[in-house]
Amino acid sequence: MNKWLALIGTILLLSCCKDNTYHYPSVKEEFFTAYAGPDSLMQYIITDDGALHNVAESGELDALVPDSLIRLMGYYEELPKGEVKVYSFIKASAPFAVPVEQYTDSLPTAPVSLLSVWLGYRYLNMLVNIKSGGKTHKILFLEEKYTTPDSSGVAKAVVNIYHKDNNDAQVYEVRGYASLPLSPYLTPETRQLDLQLNYLSYEGDTCTQNFEYKP
């Protein structure tokens, strides 16, 4: 009797496994740059491997800024013929670095935590963590120093991250996405960009990370 029960249970188990054949789409979660046409709809994206994909479908209906390139973090699926389906996205903070001598406001002093930093296609990507009480916060990039490419084609830049918290209370933690555009430093003569990134941590330390970007 026990052998027959075991055999029946095995058959039922195999039948259940056999019916479960649904394949979920291969969705990627990545930074990408999107182009919005004159109608404010997403027309194509440039992924962080430098590939351009036309957007066949976008599940995100929020209007973008017309005729502009916008840095986003989102979910998309690659389709045949090089197209993509974008399921959802959020806007990433991606201001160009401003030379510090051109910044006229008082320098923000709020700290920031960098959970992860990595190089993308013509961007330095960041997953940031800040402490907030509900007010609007802003991430700024200020260029402390830039040296044009030398005879070997190596350019150098020192950029500081500043967190403007509008005197907000530090009640809870919020994660966000930011990208530093590298295109202003990439001239035809640039073979490599040596980038130094500085920021103030919540422990009160001035932290430094260094990167080498090769176009």
> What is the rounded CA–CA span in Å between residue 7 and residue 25?
35
- CATH code, domain with 47: 2.40.50.500
Domain boundary among 40, 68, 91: 91
Give the total number of structural domains in the chain: 2
Whether 186 and 133 map to the same domain: the answer is yes
Whether 117 and 183 map to the same domain: the answer is yes
Whether 129 and 146 map to the same domain: the answer is yes
How much is the pTM?
Answer: 0.85
Domain boundary among 54, 75, 91: 91
Whether 38 and 132 map to the same domain: the answer is no
The pLDDT of residue 60 is 60
The pLDDT of residue 102 is 96
With a CB cutoff of 8 Å and minimum separation 6, the contacts of 36 are 42, 43, 64, 65, 66, 67, 68, 70
User: Could you tell me which of 138, 121, 96 has the C-alpha nearest to residue 31?
Assistant: 121
- Is 142 part of a structural domain of the chain? yes
Domain boundary among 67, 91, 115: 91
> What is the rounded CA–CA span in Å between residue 180 and residue 45?
18
Whether 196 and 106 map to the same domain: the answer is yes
- CATH code, domain with 120: 2.60.40.2370
Whether 123 and 192 map to the same domain: the answer is yes
Q: H helices of 159-211, where?
A: none
Structure tokens, 154? 């190596």
Q: Give me the average pLDDT of each 10-residue run along the chain (215 residues).
A: 42 43 74 92 94 87 80 94 93 96 94 97 97 95 98 98 95 96 97 98 97 97
Domain that holds residue 205: 98-213
